[in-house]
Structure 1
Amino acid sequence: MSEHNKDIQAEWDELVGNMNEAVAASMEQNMEASAAFMESWAEAVEDSMPTDDEWASSIEGYNDAYEVWMDAAEEMFARTADAAEGEEVAMTEFRDIWLQSANEAFKEVMGTSAFAAANGQLVSAMMEMREQADEIGEDTLAQLGMPTQSDIEEVGERLIELERRQHRVETKLDRIIESLE
């Protein structure tokens, strides 16, 4: 093997070695982030035991939803009896009864403070997980020698500042040219 080919092989080996190290580091960070997410999720579940008021609100909401479903069942039974007696009942009427009942029942359940608290905790956990994923992505890109979103934003900010400076210089040059004419 020629000296030139040995140099190319050595560069290739170094590049592949660096990429392997970056991938290994990325996987390690991924595992750490997953573990952190699971810990925060476990803490959220542990801390999410509803208060007595939330329990009462939740139970009341579920009871109200149950009543909505029972009313829908009674109305369906009545309309079925009407159809059996010869009254013309459109099939869409049955569908509308269930759709309207479903909407009302979901409103009852989703309007409870327990549902709101659980939803808030879920959104919070998802935001934390997204932040961790973004950090891992940035770290991985940086280790691979690629520009990150932060790098791109910094370049954009610098470009805007350069454009502002250029505009000020152009304005001053225009004034100087006007005064010379």
Structure 2
Amino acid sequence: MTDSQPQMQDWNAFAEQWNEQFLDALEENMEAQAKFVESWSETVGEASDETEISDGLEGYARAYETWMNASQQMVDRMNDQLEGEDVDLEEFRDIWLNTSNEAFKDVMSTTAFAKMTGESVGDVLELQQQADEASQETLRTLGFATGDDVVEVGDRLVELERRQHAVEQKLDRVLEHLEDEQ
């Protein structure tokens, strides 16, 4: 009887740890799904074309189905564990990681996502250009050389080197001519 008590305590501790990890994973999954739905709702809400909205909703539906399949896989593997099968905890992590990848593929392959990404990139490039212009102006005001100034100096140096080389070639020809006359 004393041998069975430590085994039962080990089992209880293992089951408790496993349940906690499962609940943590389930909570993280729900949070990820909520963030995903919120982000997707914003994207679809911004889409103005009926085709984009339809495509976006189809992508969301595929992603949702992917998440539900992962949930079913989790339940199946948990049942396998409870029935005594040796299930590695990393397998649960892998299910969620693979599911995340698949769900994002479902969403990213839509025209609504492409439109949102294109608009975001355009906005970022515009902001970057404005920041570059502001920093150039600030440097000029403070009396420092700007990137444009450095490029201009570089261009002038290249032109001076080209001219110097041409003068050296002419001078060599003149010297050769003078040597030939002597």
Normalising by structure 1, what TM-score? 0.69
1:34 maps to what in 2?
none
Structure 1 residue runs of 5 or longer lacking an equivalent are 1-44
Q: Any residues of structure 2 matched to 1:66-145 within 5 Å, and which?
A: 66-145=64-143
Match of 2:48 among 50, 59, 68: 50
Percent pairwise identity: 50
Deviation per CA, 1:142-173: give whole Å up to 9, x if none: 22222222111111100011111112222333
Taking the aligned partners of 1:157 and 1:122, their CA distance within structure 2 comes to 35
> Runs of 4 or more off by more than 6 Å in structure 1?
none
2:155 maps to what in 1?
157
Larger RCO: Structure 1 or Structure 2 (Cα < 8 Å, ≥ 6 residues apart)? 1
Alignment length (residue pairs): 135
Taking the aligned partners of 1:121 and 1:99, their CA distance within structure 2 comes to 28
Taking the aligned partners of 1:82 and 1:62, their CA distance within structure 2 comes to 30
Task: Please report how far the alpha carbon of residue 178 of structure 1 lies from its aligned counterpart in structure 2 after TM superposition.
Answer: 4.3
1:37 maps to what in 2?
none
1:40 maps to what in 2?
none
Taking the aligned partners of 2:81 and 2:175, their CA distance within structure 1 comes to 92
Task: Please report how far the alpha carbon of residue 132 of structure 1 lies from its aligned counterpart in structure 2 after TM superposition.
Answer: 1.1
| Equivalent residues of 2:47, 2:53 under 8 A apart | no
1:172 aligns with 2:173: no
Normalising by structure 2, what TM-score? 0.68
| Equivalent residues of 1:68, 1:101 under 8 A apart | yes
Structure 2 residue runs of 5 or longer lacking an equivalent are 1-42
Task: Please report how far the alpha carbon of residue 131 of structure 1 lies from its aligned counterpart in structure 2 after TM superposition.
Answer: 1.1
Taking the aligned partners of 2:144 and 2:91, their CA distance within structure 1 comes to 60
| CA RMSD after TM alignment | 1.8
